[in-house]
Chains A and B, each alone.
Chain A
């Protein structure tokens, strides 16, 4: 699930990063050049006027007026881009426009030079040569109109954009201006580094070669704009502080007054144009007095700030991505945990089932595991275990052990056989870890529980029909405990089988318990009984009392909650599985005990203690052990069965899955 998500995102990541880098570079360049651009406000002014020129065609009475207005609108739109005039593309466009403008202006003032300028420009741009020639004719026409309509048609005005606009607005100029409008967005997006390079050269040439054809129009426009800036700056008493514009302002100041009328006209069409805003002026003045090293420093700081901003943005994006991945991972962990700690139905046949798990610390699954499931023949199987170690490293073994045992139980093996086979199979795969486990099968028809432990505490089996709460006052705690004990099964723990994975033969013990009445069977891990109450362990006795107090309505969850309330500290995971068996009165009793003996257990005296713990008399025990010793002379192991149901214990010896004959004594019978 996670990998799928990352695959989806991975192609987009470099793209967005590259886009960010490009954007950052553009912004850095922009920031770097703002002071420079502000220091030369003439360029902006020029550009605006060169473009806004067409907007001043208000007096043209001819049929060209409508296209001229269209043209004006297009040019106005194009002029929205602030740096458009200085870029090469715009230069080209302006040159084309200048072809018309230049002819018009030259015709007004310098006829001879106009022709040469036109030829020069036409040679530069052969593609526009023919068009340029046509434009010449038509612009003459429009030029006449312009002359007629110009409010100030004096010769100095020819330098002013107001005059150039007349030609630009003429129909011949329409295609070029529309190019300008389409180019404008591109121009606006282009890096403004060209601004500084192009602008001065344009300005210079405009001063030197005012009479040179099409180029002249652009130059005149720039000169006019510079004049305006120069006019603005002196008006703001900044002439002396703007050395960069001072000279040019002086050179072009002669036409400054005459252009004001046209400027007023243009400001009617394009609001906001004209005088630099107070902010621009202020910035201009500040920039003007800032020394170059400081300017560089500011630019560097701006670049740094921008880079940090970009970096911060990217970090934020990454954070969001990681958050999403974390959410997916938690979902996955939840799914895995559910696979290891399944939620059984509330009821399997006639038996109420519940499970609960409380990790000791940290997230989710530790080493504890459980499973409750129905077998084909209507029986019910339970697995509860604990892998040594916790956390992620225990998870694979947890799953391995659980599913191995489940498979053996579903295949029809008895709990002891399942544990023994699992012990043999898993021994090699568990490495340094070992597993304690209890496997059980409950037969609801016969009301018999069969369980086998491997290093694991046996289940608590407690009758709930004589609920302590229904008996009124329960008296002292000890009295209460003894009464509970009388209703519960006392398991035989002598000769318990060792855990799986210890390098020892396991699956050597199995117990068969009759559950005649309403009872609860509680499987748990040692985290429950090893929880601490002060200096003591919580222990199986307290667990028994807790279960008795909770009664027939107890669930595994409520039981663990109660344990948590009663204990001071819980160092280990706690897992529990509770079966609520319905029925009448009746106390659980042991039906049979099974022990697989080897010579060592026989020699160490454990077998004898086992027999004694099961209630076998000393004499019977000695007799049985003698028979077992004889059997072990011919076999590795022998299974000792004790039937405890009625009267004195009856014993039987058998080799595993084979009958073993020992019929010398009446209380030792052949089984199978």
Chain B
């Protein structure tokens, strides 16, 4: 319940420190850049941004966490939920270089499910490759 708190409940300080920007790259691809701390209060915003993109028919998602300074298991839960919402042909690539965030992905066992790359370029290249390519085939390490 708390994790699904309305984003208007988010503290002002967090709202200032946190931002989600969604770029429409093409008809099927969205680039979502996250800046600031991805935690209990800001994770819902990321969730709605990602789901809005899926609703708009853009199911090739590139999530850029390069500027994200913090991520906890709440945000991980959001990504797990969105990953489950991906339909056939939908893919999500995550660009993340922070070790603590990567450790969270690893502990959760979801590093084998998400396609995680060290740079945004690798993530974009993965998404723009043949959509039939198996998810998770390319790894950051």
Contact = CB atoms under 8 A, between A and B. Distances in A.
Contacts of B81: 432
Given A455-B109, A496-B108, A504-B113, A603 B72 contact: no
Contacts of B141: 605, 609
A390 B2 contact: yes
Question: Nearest 8 CB-CB pairs, A to B?
Answer: A391-B1, A498-B109, A496-B109, A571-B40, A455-B108, A390-B2, A530-B72, A526-B73
Interface string A483-498: 0000000000111111
Contact of A496 (B84, B107, B134, B136): B107
A258 interface: no
Nearest to B70: A535
Contact of A434 (B70, B80, B136): B80
Contact of B108 (A360, A436, A503, A508): A436
A669 B8 CA distance: 59
Q: Indicate the size class of the contact surface on chain B.
A: 20 to 34
Interface string B71-99: 01110010011011000000000000000
Interface residues of A, number: 46
A601 B109 CA distance: 11
A390 B1 CA distance: 5
Interface in A419-464: 432, 434, 436, 453-457
Contact of A537 (B4, B72, B83, B136): B72
Contacts of A606: 111-112, 139
A392 B139 CA distance: 39
Contacts of A394: 1
Nearest to B100: A537
Contacts of A432: 81
Contacts, number: 98
A508 B113 CA distance: 14
Given A434-B80, A436-B108, 18 more contacts: A389-B4, A391-B2, A453-B109, A455-B108, A455-B110, A493-B106, A493-B107, A496-B111, A499-B108, A502-B80, A502-B84, A503-B84, A504-B109, A571-B74, A600-B112, A601-B112, A604-B136, A606-B111
A445 to B, nearest CB: 31
A499 B1 CA distance: 19
A140 to B, nearest CB: 93
Interface string A355-370: 0000011100010000
B137 interface: yes
Contacts of B49: none
Contacts of B1: 389-394
A571 B81 CA distance: 20
22 contacts: A388-B3, A388-B77, A389-B3, A390-B1, A390-B3, A391-B1, A434-B80, A457-B107, A495-B109, A496-B109, A499-B108, A499-B109, A502-B110, A502-B113, A530-B72, A571-B2, A571-B40, A572-B74, A600-B112, A603-B134, A603-B137, A604-B137
Contact of A506 (B74, B109, B134, B137): B109
